[in-house]
Chains A and B, each alone.
Chain A
């Protein structure tokens, strides 16, 4: 069974660092890009960025560039999302998803497998 298993919920204080993970199983991890999506009550779902696990190519949404770091370790089929200094506004649920390309050339991808989400709470 194809799955993305995410790390557990986190409670942090402003200014702390954090790394959450997303482990793929049941498929060749390097054959699909992984994307991260944030869900917050105020802004709904927001695309954060993608990583190609085969070569660690990364593309960030302009909205998240400079605020988070996305990475992947293909040797353990795991993608990561990390913060160096959390803010209260980073509170939300973070999903990883596998991207499936359906047409060549252009942004022709959809998210065909999702993780169950990691809740991150940042509060003093």
Chain B
């Protein structure tokens, strides 16, 4: 069971917008620790999509955006493409565990 809670799956049609939530607590996201998001296609290296809540590394399309409020964060993907079909993970820091912590992952299916 992961410290950060994500929905197991989300889906959307090509061109649509989807959001993936990441719910934490007062010892991680709620303690104002930043949230980062990663995309993972099985068998490949995970890739960072968003760091520091809402910043995109160079090369990441602006279709991907992040936000944070209170004890939760969200990843939004607009203009869904078939290549976006992957697993998505949120990550933050937890001061009660003294650990960097991850969400359980969300599988995105592009219908």
Identify which of B1, B46, B52, B103 contacts A114 (C-beta below 8 A).
Answer: B46
* Interface status of A44 (Cβ within 8 A of chain B): yes
Q: How many residues of B contact A (CB 8 A)?
A: 28
Does B100 contact A43, Cβ atoms closer than 8 Å? Answer: no
What CA separation (Å) do A37 and B103 show in the bound complex?
13
* Interface status of B48 (Cβ within 8 A of chain A): yes
Q: How many residues of A contact B (CB 8 A)?
A: 26
Given the known interface contacts A44-B2, A102-B51, the answer about A115 and B45 at a Cβ–Cβ threshold of 8 Å is yes
Residue interface mask A7-38, B partner, CB < 8 A = 1 = 00000000000000000000000000001010
Does A116 contact B1, Cβ atoms closer than 8 Å? Answer: no
* Chain A interface mostly: strand
Q: List 16 A-B contacts (CB under 8 A).
A: A43-B1, A43-B2, A45-B89, A61-B98, A63-B99, A102-B51, A102-B52, A107-B33, A107-B100, A108-B34, A110-B51, A112-B51, A112-B57, A114-B38, A114-B46, A114-B47
Interface residues of B (CB under 8 A from A): 1-2, 33-34, 36, 38, 43-48, 51-52, 55, 57, 89, 91, 93, 97-105
